[in-house]
Structure 1
Amino acid sequence: MTPADLSRTVLHAVRRAVDEDALRAPVPARVRVERTRPGGSGDYACAVALQLAGPAALPALEVAAILRDRVAAEPGVGRVEITGPGFLSFTLDAPAAGDRAVLDAVREQGLAYGHGDALREEILQFHHAREVRAAVTAHAVRRLVVAQGARVRVSCEEASDPDWARLGVTVDAHGTPPVPLTGIRPVPAGATAGELLERLGPDAARWGLLRPAGHDRAALSPELLVQGEANPLFRVRYAHARARALTRGAARLGFTAGHAPHTPHGAGPLPYDNAARPLLDLIADHPGVLLAAARHRAPDRVARQLEAVAHAFFDFHDSCPPLPAGDEKPSAAHRARLALAEAAGTVLAGGLSLLGIRAPEHL
């Protein structure tokens, strides 16, 4: 069970409780589950009982008990506890099955992994200044919210800079809107699109504009072009290229990614050591990061997520090589490791695509 699956499971439990008249409260549009903090109980936690206590006119602990019984009966949920004033803490059954479900979801959805329809009811209109960072940010935010099902229109105060097109930016209209619209107002970049394209090219320019939070100064130095580990953009793109190279290398050795043979889908431990856990968790959390970035209009959150995935990928790669060495034969462990490496590469490519940045197969 993935975090998204668990969120839907809890929401289904709320609907059941309302339909059965055990709970009299409006069903929320969504339910947020978060990974349990250090020292907490279970794998994930949820505050939905606290959210519903007021509308239901019941103590949060009573609401939590109503929901606990319904969630605990769902497949994939091992244990549900009530902690504190009414938090629900979930321990998932068979963690390996959850890991496999995440990898399968990445494989099936490809670059669209993490996209959803949480914002399908929203029709948004963004308005920004005639300034390159505002334009690039609005374009990235558009991609993020559209990936979550929203419909969007973007306008600019004045006619677009012709060089914006070379940065992949499109604007639907220009001029002062008749009614106030949501503004995209990051700190100005202090440069024009033409200057940035000449110095950095489109990919590095977009990363430099989007990586800092909107209230922070954009870092647009030549370091963005350095091909070394100190450059986060290079590290992210190199991790993607390395993941793709592993797939090509495995094909030359005659094997592909997959689960261990003779192991039923969803059963048995995955053949990883502890270095795999951070990468698995980041990939599982990726849909939640994309949704939060869309809701908060914050493409910098995606960039930071990609940096974390790249870092965890290299740690995993060095500790658990997906390709056999020397005369070693490909094993079930190699196939499982390759599946995780490929999932990481897909997440990196999909995230870069949402930022409007290319993910080369070779670096």
Structure 2
Amino acid sequence: MTPVELSRTVLHAVRRAVDDGELSVTVPERVVVAPPGPGGCGDYATNVALQLARPAGQPPLRVAEILRPRLAGATGVRDVVVTGPGFLNISLEGEGRGAADAALVAEIRAAGRSYGHGDALAGQVVELRVPYDVRAEVVADALGRIIASQGGRVAIDHREPVNVRPVPAPEDPAPLGPDAARWALLHPAAHDRPRVTADHLVQREANPLFRVRYAHARTRALLRNAARLGFAPEPGPLDQSEGQGAGHVLCDTLADHPRILGAAATHRAPDRLARHLVTLADATFPLLPAVLPIGEEKPSAAHRARLALAEAAGTVLAGGLSLLGIDAPDHL
């Protein structure tokens, strides 16, 4: 069960409690599941009981106890334990977290660059009225793709009153080139003044755009090098190795990608996607040294699983950049 599937399972438990008359709340659109924090247990935890306590007019622990048996009886869930003020800690059947990570990687490989696309805005036409300004035009163009990824359609015009007015760039970004110029305009939040400087062109760690594109290029290089060594990516549980902790963190970041895309679309905020890609790139780098065999080591199932995870990360990075209108080169 992937984190996205588990989130849907938690929502289904909430709906059942509402239908049974034990909770009187509006069922949220999404709930967050994440690795348990200090004092937690199991494979994943959710704070949905704390989220619903105030609108339900009940203590969080009571809400958690209402949800626990409905969640514990769901397919793929082995056990649910309530800890702290009302956190639901979920243990999955089978190989637990390892199986969930493998399922997530398989899902991304099947979806390709469309991973995270959904139908939250299906049938909706979103009108974007923008001023005659280069940054506003670039933001609207990116929003067209991001909103389309959630099933919606964008109509762009320049009529008043405008409803998309990011702070203009202090100077013409064109000298940076198309990719760096778009990043300079899209990465800051709409209320922040963008920096139009040559820093966006420098290939070093301090440049977020470079980190994102370099992480993608590194995953593609690993695939080429693995092919030369005679093995290919294959989703599977990560073993007890230096790559495991980094792999789990990376899987958590990948699992959050659909939520980020949905938020970027509904809030008209391409900067949310840009910042998420930086977070994803930074989560990718620690895994990479453990992907290929070292010395006389032979390729194993663990190497194939890590390679599949690296491949998935590169795919999501490329897909996110494409939604922003930025190229993701295989070589840097």
- Partner in structure 1 of residue 267 of structure 2: 296
- Partner in structure 1 of residue 191 of structure 2: 215
Could you list the per-position Cα deviations for residues 97-137 of structure 1 after superposition, in whole angstroms to 9, with x for gaps in the alignment? 11111111111111011111223264321111110111111
| Residue correspondences, number | 326
Do structure 1's residue 104 and structure 2's residue 106 form an aligned pair? yes
- 8 Å CA contact retained: 1:137, 1:210: yes
Letter in structure 2 aligned against 1:103 = V
Check 1:80–1:307 CA distance in 2 against 1; reply closer, same or farther (3 A cut): same
Do structure 1's residue 225 and structure 2's residue 224 form an aligned pair? no
Letter in structure 2 aligned against 1:184 = V
In the TM superposition, 1:51-66 aligns within 5 A as 51=52, 54=55, 61-66=61-66
Percentage of identical aligned residues: 51
- Partner in structure 2 of residue 79 of structure 1: 79
Gaps of 5+ in 2: none
Q: C-alpha displacement at 1:88, in angstroms?
A: 4.6
Partners of 2:89 and 2:292 lie apart in 1 by 36
Q: C-alpha displacement at 1:47, in angstroms?
A: 2.7
Letter in structure 1 aligned against 2:287 = F
Letter in structure 2 aligned against 1:246 = L
- Partner in structure 2 of residue 28 of structure 1: 27
Partners of 1:101 and 1:126 lie apart in 2 by 37
Report the 3-state secondary structure (helix = DSSP H, G, I; strand = E; otherwise coil) of the residue aligned with 2:89. strand
Report the 3-state secondary structure (helix = DSSP H, G, I; strand = E; otherwise coil) of the residue aligned with 2:194. coil
- 8 Å CA contact retained: 1:141, 1:297: yes
Check 1:281–1:58 CA distance in 2 against 1; reply closer, same or farther (3 A cut): closer
Do structure 1's residue 361 and structure 2's residue 330 form an aligned pair? yes
- 8 Å CA contact retained: 1:31, 1:48: no
- 8 Å CA contact retained: 1:279, 1:309: yes
Check 1:40–1:218 CA distance in 2 against 1; reply closer, same or farther (3 A cut): farther
Partners of 2:221 and 2:228 lie apart in 1 by 11
Letter in structure 2 aligned against 1:209 = L
Q: C-alpha displacement at 1:24, in angstroms?
A: 6.7
- Aligned CA RMSD, in angstroms, stands at 2.7
Check 1:122–1:65 CA distance in 2 against 1; reply closer, same or farther (3 A cut): farther
Check 1:59–1:225 CA distance in 2 against 1; reply closer, same or farther (3 A cut): closer
- 8 Å CA contact retained: 1:53, 1:63: no
Check 1:30–1:251 CA distance in 2 against 1; reply closer, same or farther (3 A cut): same
- Partner in structure 1 of residue 306 of structure 2: 337
Which of the residues 293, 297, 301 maps onto 1:328?
297
Check 1:312–1:4 CA distance in 2 against 1; reply closer, same or farther (3 A cut): same
- Partner in structure 2 of residue 187 of structure 1: 167
Could you list the per-position Cα deviations for residues 249-269 of structure 1 after superposition, in whole angstroms to 9, with x for gaps in the alignment? 111221101146xxxxxx785
Q: C-alpha displacement at 1:346, in angstroms?
A: 0.7
Report the 3-state secondary structure (helix = DSSP H, G, I; strand = E; otherwise coil) of the residue aligned with 1:102. helix
> TM-score when scaled to structure 1?
0.80
Letter in structure 1 aligned against 2:6 = L
Partners of 2:140 and 2:116 lie apart in 1 by 20
Gaps of 5+ in 1: 157-174, 261-266
- Partner in structure 1 of residue 6 of structure 2: 6
Do structure 1's residue 15 and structure 2's residue 15 form an aligned pair? yes
- Partner in structure 2 of residue 166 of structure 1: none
Report the 3-state secondary structure (helix = DSSP H, G, I; strand = E; otherwise coil) of the residue aligned with 2:171. coil
Which of the residues 220, 230, 237 maps onto 2:213?
237
Q: C-alpha displacement at 1:92, in angstroms?
A: 3.3
Do structure 1's residue 249 and structure 2's residue 225 form an aligned pair? yes
- Partner in structure 2 of residue 90 of structure 1: 89
- Partner in structure 2 of residue 135 of structure 1: 137
Partners of 1:259 and 1:36 lie apart in 2 by 20
Report the 3-state secondary structure (helix = DSSP H, G, I; strand = E; otherwise coil) of the residue aligned with 2:154. strand
